[in-house]
Amino acid sequence: MRAYFSLLRIRFINGLQYRAAALAGISTQFAWGFMEILAFSAFYRANPDAFPMEFSQLVQYIWLQQAFLGVIVPWSWGGNITETIVNGNIAYELVRPMNLYNRWYFESLANRLANAAMRCLPILAVAFLLPAPFRMNLPANLGGLGLFAVSLTLTVLVVSAYVILDYISVFYTMSRYNAIFSVAADFLAGGYIPLSFFPATLRRILELSPFGAMQNLPLRIFNGEIAGSDAMWGIALQVFWLIVMVLLGKLLMKHSLKRVVAQGG
C-alpha cells in the first residue's frame, strides 16, 4: 500500500509543478463556462419552457463541471502513461514488483487529484461571487450534498477505470491519440450538454450505460434534478460499472502483457 501512496504523492508533486498550466487552465475553464452559460441563456430567453431544467440549475451544472473538470473528465491528464507503451519505457514499469493495472490506476487518480486541487477552489470561489443569473448556488436541499459527494467520488473512480481501458487499447493500436475514446465518452457522459437535454430514449439508455455513471450523476444530484431513490439507484449503477470496468481492465491487461513488445531497442 505504501508504494501506491508514494506513487500518489510523486504524481501529486509532479502535477503541482505546472503552475502556469494550471493558471491557463483556470482561465480557459472560466471562458468556456461563460460561453456555455451565455449561449444557453440566449436559448432560455427565446422559450424558457422548452427546457428540462431551470436556468439556475443549468448554471450550477456548468460551474460545478468546470470546477471539478480535473477529476471528472474521461481522458487523462499528462499522457505519459500511454507514451511509455509507445516508446517502450514500459520496460521500466514492468521490472517493478507491482501490479501494472493498480499502478496505472493510482497514477491516473493522482493526476486527477493534483489537477483538481489547483483548479477547483478558484473557480468555485468566483462562481459563488458572480452577479445574479450567473451565480452558482448551493443546492436547495442540503441533504443532496452528501449524495453528491459520494457520487462524485464514484465518478472519479469510474472514469479512472475507463481511462485505463483506453490505455490498454494502446497496446493494440500503438497510437497514443485514441481521441475517439475520450471525445465520445465526454459527449455521452454529458460533458458538452447535460444528458437531460438528450432525446428521451437515448437519455434513458445513456443513463444506464457506463457513461451515465460518470459526471452526469453527481452534477445532476447537485442541481436537484436527481434526488432520493433515483440518486441511490444511480449510485448503485456507478458501483456496478466500476466493478465491471476494473475487472475488464484487469483481464485485458493480462492478455496484452503476454504480447507486449517493448518498442525500440
Residues forming contacts to another protein in the complex (CB under 8 A) are 2-3, 5-7, 9-10, 13-14, 17, 88-89, 91-92, 94-99, 258, 260-262, 264-265
Which region, left, alpha or beta, applies to residue 199 given φ > 0 means left and ψ of -120 to 50 means alpha? beta
Query: How many of the other CB atoms lie within 10 Å of CB of 254?
Result: 11
Q: Which is nearer to another protein, 5 or 177 (CB)?
A: 5
Closer to another protein by Cβ: residue 18 or 44: 18
CB of 250 to another protein, least distance (A): 14
Nearer to another protein, 46 or 95 (CB): 95
Treating both helix axes as pointing N-terminal to C-terminal, what angle do 179-188 and 143-173 enclose, rounded to 10 degrees? 160
Is residue 155 within 8 Å of residue 72, measured between CB atoms? yes
Residue pair 64/222 in contact (Cβ under 8 Å)? The answer is yes
Provide, rounded to whole angstroms, the least separation between the CB of residue 78 and another protein.
10
Closest approach, Cβ 71 to another protein, in A, equals: 21
Cβ–Cβ < 8 Å for 123, 67: yes
> Between 199 and 265, whose beta carbon lies closer to another protein?
265
Kindly state the smallest distance separating residue 247's Cβ from another protein, in Å.
19
